[in-house]
Structure 1
Amino acid sequence: MQDYARLIGIDVGKKRVGIAQTDLLQTIASPVGTFSPENVFTEIGNIVEHAPVKKFVIGWPLSLSGDEGSATQMVEAFIKKLQQKFPEIEIIKVDERYTSSRARDIMLEAGVPKKKRQEKGRVDRIAAAIILQNYLDSNI
């Protein structure tokens, strides 16, 4: 029997948090939006309320050499808060190196005008979708 539930991708930043989600069959990741750190838990709660969520897939910010730094501490604090609010949902950390640059490349290849590519938050929500899709592709 198929387990119908979404996976939620999260790209945590200091100013903005990008959110993406899968369809219920967990085949494709789509951007949801970009939210302030203060409002993101309300938005995640709305998603969880409307459809079952199996996992949170969070971008884990490693340096190019693979080391953890100050950004990983920020994400770790976010994860702790997420665990407190949604203790029943599994959290997976995924290497997020190069996702922001890939998001910019995708927008360029898709012909997104420069002004739209520079909109605050656009890169963050696409990066969240890339993080989530990478997880899906490597866990089939």
Structure 2
Amino acid sequence: MARIMALDFGTKRTGIAITDELQMIASGLTTVKTAELMDFLKKYFHDENVELVVVGEPKQKDESASESEVYIKEFLKAFAKKFPEMPVKREDERFTSKMAFQSMIDSGLKKKKRKNKALVDEISATLILQSYLYK
């Protein structure tokens, strides 16, 4: 089987998570500068067998799209152009940043490490992927 990847897309940074080959375990992979995301994905897709990308879908409490959805749609158009064979699914990402921060507290990370926004993005991507896998 191939891996499934999840992206917590942001205008500055994008958190990335990936499954194992059996698609049972979601793990944080890294956070990359969004400006470098396409190059990262190109290399990763070349090196690893990925069958699906799950992209977080930010929504308001009333189910309407969040302001960042505009940027995500632009990214998805560029992604489809660069990787036309790669299927994409969307997954609700409401509260993932808060849940990521709470998981950092629960795991005993010191306050200084909890300020690492890149780590929050990576954990958020992992939560998005877990949500997709365990539906």
| TM-score for both structures, normalised by structure 2 | 0.96
Cα distance in 1 for partners of 2:61, 2:13 equals 22
1:52-85 deviation line (CA, Å, top 9, x unaligned): 1111000001111110132111111111111111
What letter is aligned with 1:107? M
Q: Select the residue among 27, 47, 50 that pairs with 1:50.
A: 47
Matches within 5 A, 1:1-140: 4-138=1-135
Is residue 12–residue 35 contact of structure 2 (8 Å, CA) maintained in 1? no
Where has structure 1 moved over 4 Å in runs of 4 or more? none
What letter is aligned with 2:14? V
Percent of residue pairs bearing the same amino acid type:
36
Structure 2 gaps of 5+ residues are none
3-state secondary structure, aligned to 2:84: coil
Is residue 58–residue 68 contact of structure 2 (8 Å, CA) maintained in 1? yes
What letter is aligned with 1:85? K
Alignment coverage as a number of residue pairs: 135
Task: Give the root-mean-square deviation of aligned CA atoms.
Answer: 0.9
Structure 1 gaps of 5+ residues are none
